Amino acid sequence: MPELRKDLFTDNWVIIAEGRDGRPIDYSQGTVPANDPADCPFEPGHESMTPPEIDAIRPSASKNADDWQVRVVPNKFSALSPQEPRSVPVKQGLFQRMNGTGSHEVVIESPAHSRRLSDFSPEQVERVLRIFQRRLRTLLGDERFQFVQIFRNEGREAGASLVHPHSQILALPFLPISFRDRLQASRKYYAQKQRCILCDVLEQELEKDERVISAGDSFVVLAPYAPRHPYELWIVPRQHRHDLRDLGEPERLDLAERIPETLRKLDDTLVNPPFNLLVRTAPTPNHHSEHPSYLEDLSEHFHWYLEVIPRIKRTAGLELATETHINTIAPETAAQTLRNGTT
Ligand SMILES: [Zn+2]
Ligand SMILES: [Zn+2]
């Protein structure tokens, strides 16, 4: 049974989940991944190897049939427990703990065993995005959860343990400190200017055109001004919305083309790099016992977007000690390289 412990020195919650050590790993230490679909729990026909399905998109109506196109299952080696009641902090001497109540789901993004996201068809990416929206609606509607993080690890260096394309969704009973800091920054800007910080940044970036990689009808891909990682990219919707749940079909179709197109640029330049894709979408303000100012006007001051972080740099002592990153590729250089194509 996982539990949450508060780090007294930073206010961060830490998930203690010993059982996850038993999970299968395609990637052994430093070698080529074991890549046999016969052993893969995410293959069509292997549905019984995963816990019962939560959601799916399939042409037929029969649940658990093997004709799914996207399938959501609980993580068999979950870092959190979805059956528990609402987490309530309990004192333990100086310390604080709470039940590891949360949801940890796997989105199996394709029936195809070994395919990079850059090779997905827009139709398939659109299905995955639709599933993300559906899961967000359910999980953010659950009063036990304050925050939902959707993310994707591709490649061993990015944290993937299985080759089969998948992303993960974690619903947490707390708001992580790093996300609180983002909300505080955007709320502060909004309080001064009554404007959204990312809308303003987007306008300035499009005008200066130093860090823009591509600009479509609905989404702009740019290298952020102060990226922590070489070739870090943001995919930003032009229309101001705080929440991925509100993305309509025309924009979803556009984003479904934009994602693989952007990843192909990274593949060409960095030769198929491992990467993380992070969805930055607003938490729900309703399930907090306190109502700090950064949760006010959330739909006005926060602007959802995607982050793509190629994992070509090892984080080391400085980053661990200070969270200060040294980035050896300026975003202007990264943007120019990606705009011009293969180096
Ligand atoms: Zn597979
Ligand atoms: Zn905005």
Q: Give the model's pLDDT for residue 27.
A: 57
At residue 151, φ and ψ (nearest 5 deg) are -150, 165
This prediction's pTM = 0.94
Yes or no: say if 135 and 149 are a contact pair by the CB < 8 Å rule.
no
Tell me which residues have their CB within 5 A of the ion that is ligand 1: 37, 40, 42-43, 113, 164
Least Cα distance to 41 among 21, 56, 25, 62 occurs for 25
Kindly identify the ligand whose nearest atom is closest to the C-alpha of 240. 2
pLDDT of 26 > 80? The answer is: no
Query: Taking all residues of the chain, what is their mean pLDDT, rounded to a whole number?
Result: 92
pLDDT band at 289 (very low <50, low <70, confident <90, very high): confident
State the pLDDT at residue 32.
Answer: 45
Is the pLDDT at 21 greater than 80, yes or no?
no
Q: Give residue 136 CA to ligand 1 midpoint distance, Å.
A: 25
Cβ(98)–Cβ(184) under 8 Å?
Answer: no
Going from the Cα of 202 to the center of ligand 2, the distance in angstroms, rounded, reads 9
Between the CA of 275 and the centroid of ligand 2 the distance, in Å, is: 26
- pLDDT tens for each residue of 81-119: 998 888 889 999 999 999 999 999 999 999 999 999 999
Give the tens place of pLDDT for each residue, 161-213: 899 999 999 999 999 999 999 999 999 999 999 999 999 999 999 999 999 99
More confident site: 334 or 84:
334
Residue 62 token pair:
């029969």
Distance 155 CA to ligand 1 centre (A): 14
Q: For residue 64, give both structure tokens.
A: 């658990």
Ligand 2 geometric centre to CA of 269 (Å):
30
More confident position, 133 or 76: 133
Distance 55 CA to ligand 1 centre (A): 18
Q: How far is the CA of 40 from the centre of ligand 1 (A)?
A: 5
- Residues in CB range of 76: below 8 A, 6 or more apart: 23, 41, 50, 51
Better-predicted residue by pLDDT, 140 or 284: 140
Q: What is the distance in A from the centroid of ligand 1 to the CA of 287?
A: 37
Report the pLDDT value the prediction gives residue 221, as an integer from 0 to 100: 98
114 CA distance to ligand 1 middle (Å) = 7
Q: Percent of the chain, pLDDT > 90?
A: 81
